[in-house]
């Protein structure tokens, strides 16, 4: 294992320390926690997300005006504990309730739910939106149902925009439940990732091999084969998304091509270029596009394609400025 | 070689196509060129930069209000041709002159100079700022004198800010020549990068080995040894920077920790955390901090530390908002 780290046990603590000290105008660390919270004043429903670390810039990079109020950083690929999530809820509560945005993994679901119970006793109204955008497989290693992956960042953005505009926590939760049904993602991997405390890759691929449908913790996908040209990969992935959305000519969508951590931007732009051409050929109107590392898996080489069904309001919210480290 | 690409010969063309179609609100492609230019109106000195591709988001990701007017994308690790640079100068000229920001590599220096000569015949006043911030080695593979690396992005930002405020091309060139002397960088690598048309890594490192002082095209550094903890790497690199700057307690600096393309944000934040602590121990005031991928080397794993000596004006310019894809 070659990484720019110190003791593998300390990676999350040192990362959070580095992140908040690099970007004090956006974020602060809640004392005695691994919670990254907004460092400015606001008066709205609080949005709290988080999960295991190793997916940076998710979620701390999306804390700030127009997106999250706080992100709870678990250990690498490990759900944050309920007391940490509860601390985030307490610290960001403005008396208007809290919306939890949770990726669908069993550990996260359980721990965010326990934190919600703790906050209920403080009479904080807490609602939850569960994100399960990964259509590659159904139940997976850490998941009942579909996994939550890069589409989560779009949920942060749209619900963050609505929260800033004054929507209630009940409205946000109701809207969010519909929203997540309109967001779908499929990933591919060219290499595995190494959790620092484990010291070896979670899976390995041969020098000429790729895997379709891999999760962001190295969970198995649906097929391994020889590496193919970007165009052919895009054809397969866009085909899977089309089968789910069943889109028609003229439909409006957003397209996010997300890097997994070890893939250079050059490849992401090429992959985007191929995906976009296929969508144009189908007559899809793209009202939002984004390319870069948003929901990563440590140093894994690979990328995911997320599509989101848009109307004018969603497109507006996705395109409007926010004040965060990484959007 | 495993990459998400199609024909290796087409990577730059397809990347530029993807980039401009993903971000039309920032940039457009000049027809029949690999030039990425601002897609909005402006009335100021034009700033043109560029170089070989493979360093994304440099330089096209920094085209936009407050930074570059255009970026010329050469083939991978290959200088753009004079006619392409000339096309960028012509297309962005607002009658106020053009500032070329050039990384110090022999091919770039020669080709940007030839383009300047072509523009001189059109009576466009063209001045050049040469960036040579890499203090790791003196003459290198493609360089007489020091190499230009991640510090170039800070030059884009500061001179871009001044240009937006109305400074003349002569003023910008004079200021730029002083500015580059106050910016210094040292990189490290944990792995090599593979140029698509070459198909194998430019250099290789053993599974437990790193190299100090590597350039952004895989040019040799100054020492190879076993991988060390982040703290010890930071001590060595900050020590080298200190020996160059000869800073005193209370001096004001900016700190950029830049990823080389294959290194996850988690490691960059840990490395930043260690560097920052060393600078704090020296009594340095950090008035600007930034962490992420800004000047990469394809999928190379590694990072560079750039420091810039600041006064209030430079700090203001570095911290003010711009409208680009990647700043």
**Nearest alpha-carbon partner for B50 in B65, B68, B66, B64:** B68
Q: Known catalytic residue: B156?
A: no
Question: What pLDDT was estimated at residue B141?
Answer: 82
Say yes or no for a CB contact (<8 Å) between A296 and B264. Answer: yes
Question: What pLDDT was estimated at residue B216?
Answer: 97
Tokens for A165, please give them.
């505009």
Question: What pLDDT was estimated at residue B77?
Answer: 97
CA dihedral A218, A221, A225, A226 (to 10 degrees): -40
Of B15, B263, B270, the CB nearest to A270: B15
User: Cα(B74)–Cα(B172) distance, rounded to whole angstroms?
Assistant: 25
| Bridge partner list, B194 | B201
**Nearest alpha-carbon partner for B136 in B219, B252, B42, B36:** B219
Q: Give average pLDDT by consecutive 10-residue segment, chain B, 327 residues.
A: 97 98 98 97 97 98 98 98 98 98 98 98 97 93 91 98 98 98 98 96 96 96 97 98 98 98 98 98 98 98 98 98 97
Pairing of strands A98-103, A46-53: parallel
Say yes or no for a CB contact (<8 Å) between B266 and A230. Answer: no
Give the distance from residue B56's alpha carbon to the nearest chain A alpha carbon, in angstroms.
6
Q: Which of A55, A59, A156, A323 is catalytic?
A: A55
User: Cα(A162)–Cα(A175) distance, rounded to whole angstroms?
Assistant: 10
For B181-226, give the DSSP string. Answer: HTEEEEEEESS--B-TTT-SBSS---TTEEEES--TT----SEEEE
User: Average pLDDT of A77-98?
Assistant: 98
Determine which of A74, A189, A197, A269 to mutate to test the interface with B (most B C-beta atoms within 10 Å): A269
Identify the residue whose tokens are 């100054």. Answer: B222
Instruction: For CATH 3.40.50.10440, list the domain ranges present in chain A.
Output: 8-181
User: Average pLDDT of A279-289?
Assistant: 98
Question: What pLDDT was estimated at residue A17?
Answer: 98
Instruction: For CATH 3.30.1180.20, list the domain ranges present in chain A.
Output: 183-319
Question: What pLDDT was estimated at residue B143?
Answer: 82
The whole model's pTM is what?
0.98
* Residue pair B224/B270 in contact by the 8 Å Cβ criterion: no
Question: What pLDDT was estimated at residue A130?
Answer: 98
Question: What pLDDT was estimated at residue A139?
Answer: 84
Say yes or no for a CB contact (<8 Å) between A23 and B274. Answer: no
Question: What pLDDT was estimated at residue B173?
Answer: 98
What are the chain A neighbours of B15 within 8 Å (beta carbons)? 266, 269-270, 273
User: Cα(A184)–Cα(B85) distance, rounded to whole angstroms?
Assistant: 41
**Nearest alpha-carbon partner for A59 in A106, A120, A112:** A112
The residue ranges of DSSP E strands in chain A, in sequence order, are: 27-29, 35-38, 46-53, 70-76, 98-103, 126-131, 183-189, 209-212, 223-226, 252-259, 285-292, 302-309
Q: What is the CATH number of domain B183-319?
A: 3.30.1180.20
Say yes or no for a CB contact (<8 Å) between A298 and B230. Answer: no
How big is chain B, counted in residues? 327
Cα A186 to Cα A26, A50, A82, A264, B293, distances in angstroms: 31, 21, 29, 19, 24
- Confidence class for position A174, pLDDT limits 50, 70, 90: very high
Question: What pLDDT was estimated at residue A284?
Answer: 98
Of A4, A191, A229, the CB nearest to B263: A4
DSSP 8-state code for residue A60 = G
A208 → chain B, closest CA residue: B2
What are the chain A neighbours of B289 within 8 Å (beta carbons)? 21-23
- A69 by DSSP, 3-state: which? coil
**Nearest alpha-carbon partner for B293 in A54, A274, A149, A263:** A263
Say yes or no for a CB contact (<8 Å) between B6 and A274. Answer: yes
User: Cα(A23)–Cα(B41) distance, rounded to whole angstroms?
Assistant: 31
Cα B18 to Cα B14, B29, B35, distances in angstroms: 6, 10, 13
User: Cα(A199)–Cα(B227) distance, rounded to whole angstroms?
Assistant: 14
Q: Is residue B92 packed enough to be buried (19+ CB in 10 Å), middle (13-18) or exposed (0-12)?
A: buried
A227 → chain B, closest CA residue: B2
What are the chain B neighbours of A23 within 8 Å (beta carbons)? 289, 291
Q: Known catalytic residue: A55?
A: yes
pLDDT at A144 over 90: no
- A159 by DSSP, 3-state: which? helix
* Residue pair A298/B33 in contact by the 8 Å Cβ criterion: no
Say yes or no for a CB contact (<8 Å) between B227 and A270. Answer: no
Q: Of the given ranges (A150-164, A296-310, B134-148), which has the lowest mean pLDDT?
A: B134-148
Say yes or no for a CB contact (<8 Å) between A14 and B296. Answer: no
User: Average pLDDT of A3-23?
Assistant: 98
**Is the complex ipTM more than 0.95?**
yes
| Bridge partner list, A259 | A303
B280 → chain A, closest CA residue: A21
**Nearest alpha-carbon partner for B195 in B14, B18, B11, B6:** B11
Higher pLDDT, A142 or A261: A261
Say yes or no for a CB contact (<8 Å) between B273 and A17. Answer: yes
Give A190-217 pLDDT, tens digit per residue.
999 999 999 999 999 999 999 999 999 9
User: Average pLDDT of A149-171?
Assistant: 98
User: Cα(B279)–Cα(B270) distance, rounded to whole angstroms?
Assistant: 15
Cα B198 to Cα A154, B76, B194, B195, distances in angstroms: 37, 10, 7, 5
Of A61, A257, A264, the CB nearest to B298: A264
CA dihedral A106, A108, A111, A117 (to 10 degrees): -100
Question: What pLDDT was estimated at residue B243?
Answer: 97
What's the fold here for domain A8-181?
Answer: Rossmann fold (3.40.50)
Average pLDDT, chain A: 97
Q: Which helix (H) or strand (E) holds B267?
A: helix B265-281
């Amino acid at each position: 294992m070659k990484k720019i780290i110190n003791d593998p046990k300390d990676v999350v603590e040192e990362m959070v320390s580095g992140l908040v000290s690099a970007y004090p105008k956006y974020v602060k660390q809640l004392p005695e926690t691994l919670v990254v919270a907004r460092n400015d004043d606001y008066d709205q429903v609080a949005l709290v997300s988080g999960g295991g670390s190793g997916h940076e810039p998710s979620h701390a990079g999306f804390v700030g005006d127009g997106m999250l109020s706080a992100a709870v950083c678990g250990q690498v690929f490990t759900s944050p504990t309920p007391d940490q999530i509860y601390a985030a809820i307490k610290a960001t509560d403005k008396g208007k309730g809290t919306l939890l945005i949770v990726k669908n993994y069993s550990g996260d679901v359980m721990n965010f739910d326990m934190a919600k119970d703790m906050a209920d006793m403080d009479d904080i109204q807490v609602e939850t939106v569960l994100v399960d955008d990964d259509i590659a497989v159904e139940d997976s290693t850490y998941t009942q149902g579909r996994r939550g992956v890069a589409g989560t960042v779009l949920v942060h953005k749209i619900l963050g925009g609505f929260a800033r505009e004054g929507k209630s926590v009940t409205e946000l939760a109701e809207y969010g439940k519909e929203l997540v049904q309109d967001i779908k993602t499929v990933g591919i991997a060219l290499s595995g990732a190494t959790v620092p405390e484990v010291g070896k890759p979670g899976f390995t691929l041969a020098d000429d091999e790729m895997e379709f449908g891999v999760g962001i913790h190295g969970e198995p996908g649906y097929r391994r084969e020889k590496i193919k040209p970007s165009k052919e990969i895009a054809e397969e992935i866009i085909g899977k998304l089309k089968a789910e959305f069943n889109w028609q000519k003229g439909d409006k969508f957003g397209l996010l091509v997300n890097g997994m951590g070890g893939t250079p931007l050059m490849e992401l732009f090429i992959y985007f270029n191929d995906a976009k051409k296929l969508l144009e050929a189908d007559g899809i109107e793209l009202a939002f596009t984004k390319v870069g590392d948003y929901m990563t898996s440590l140093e894994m080489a690979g990328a995911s394609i997320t599509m989101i069904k848009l109307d004018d309001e969603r497109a507006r919210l996705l395109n409007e400025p926010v004040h965060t480290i990484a959007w």
